Structure 1
Amino acid sequence: MPTVAPSTSEREGVPSFRVGPDSIEVVPLTATIGAELRRVSLARVSRDRALFSQIKDLLLQYKVLFFRDQDISRAEHVALAERFGPLEDHPVAGSDPEHPGLVRIYKDLASKPEHYENAFHCDATWRTAPPMGSLLRCVETPPVGGDTIWVNMAEAYRRLPEHVKQRIAGLRARHSIEASFGAAMPAEQRRALHERFPDAEHPVVRTHPETGEQVLFVNAFTTHFVNFHTPENVRFGHDYAPGASELLNYLVRQASVPEYQVRWRWTKNSFALWDNRSTQHYAVQDYWPAVRKMERAGIVGTPTF
């Protein structure tokens, strides 16, 4: 149980509490999602099993955790992420050559604004087994802008109207890298990407494998429902396309509800650790041509069934 001694944040008027023998300071950032953890070294978490267990419990509770001013090497970054499981690479974004699985998301003057990150999405749901989560470090941040928003998709599902919950129970949807990253590629390259990563199918409502929560699991990678065209949903053929697409668009838009969100202002050597199974995120691209450089370790997940 957390101690009752007031923390620095409490004296400043920000509600917080401390947990564990190391007295990690937990500062919830909204009533729905996200907490900043203070008085903790991620370098030490990468080596300390008991401390890691505390962090994992807090992650399941808050869904995304934030840390500032972390003195940690790339090797320790990778080691910490690997405590959750093996790391995965990305077919489009490059990895650090000395640390496979540490994906470099570098936006600088050589880049131009693009549209993959500035959409609410759950990482790599185009995989049969989407990532369990990610540990993201800010290497360089613009003087203003470049925030990231995370969304609690368990809360988004919980607050759906009951008739919508009934309508989507049992629905499954297709997720595609070809229709997202591949869309900007030449046709031959796009088809090769599709052959390497065929579209994946996931339940519209996913059960979180550790918490048991029901999670709304559609996002910017979702193209269509695969089992909507039934006599119960479609009276005539022309009911199918608008009926299914309108319902899918309604569900995807739930991620844009501010009450389900937390927004993080990056600083150099700040980190975010999030549960990809129950959240979506949106990297705000309001800073170009300023520079923003991030490094992400994505953790291999399990099939959604």
Structure 2
Amino acid sequence: MIIPSNLISENDFSKIFNIIKKQYKVLNSNENKNGRPKKFTDQQIIACAIYGVHYSIFSLRELEYKINRDLVFKEIIGITNAPDYSTFSIRLKKIEQHIYYGIYAILIECINPKTRLCAIDATALRSSRFDSEAKKGKGTRLGFFTGYKLHCMVAVTDIIIPLVFDITTANVYDNQPSSLLYETKIYNPFLILGDAAYDSEEWFKICEKLDMNLLTDINMRKAKSIESFNGQRYKNALFRKSPIGKKLYKSRLKIEQLFSVLKGLYNLENPRLYGINRYKRHVKWCLMAYLIDEYRKKSLKIVSRKYPWNL
């Protein structure tokens, strides 16, 4: 079947595939050139994973089926038949281990968000009730739920960009993945905003050690007033109540906007999934798809955070 060139060039996936090839070239991964060449390149496999996110495809068998029926997409990425579902599984696992985080970091560098002001939070990811690996946790809005959590550090100064993230079971409290602070250090944030869950002496000590500042909401616990607080928690409570503290803390709401967009446009939360590895894979490619879209928006000088149909 002959497909018109303008249909390919104007297709969104043509632009997405060009971005993937560009970033992959910058990464300059050392592919093994010995032996038989791979039937499908890493760029093609990544493009297929992004295709699955955009069309809310959660099964690799379904992904294989849908790509085989999409003649335009196959023409764009240069394949005649979609990879087998077992090929998808093996190749995606290798990409996630060795290439994914490199491309993720390069995309952030290309977007170049201002990282002096960041926010941290966790969002609930409900899973199937038959998921034996999921745990019970408690969310602010959901109450008790079964599933997982996405812990995320986000740049909120201008563009809302997820810098580092971690996926855990739902029983892990929000402030337990303190490793995110160490990973964020490479972006040199000045101030990190968090809700009351992060009002912890341990987090203030880590931030002081890393030469960063932490502003959180006040967690009273069983205290009657902030006068009973000690050290950094008392200083934080005083600053949080000050006019400048209140103004700065409003920027924390942007991370809630990010979670809303990820769940609304990218189907971040999917109760059909079961098993933490499947959920991790799904979340990783949702975040990658979001970064690619933000990179495209910056290239087109679109600054709005509205949904595409409201632009």
TM over 0.5: no
> Relative contact order: is structure 1 or structure 2 higher (C-alpha 8 Å, sep ≥ 6)?
1
Q: Greater CA radius of gyration, 1 or 2?
A: 2
Name the one with the larger strand percent.
1
Higher helix share: 2
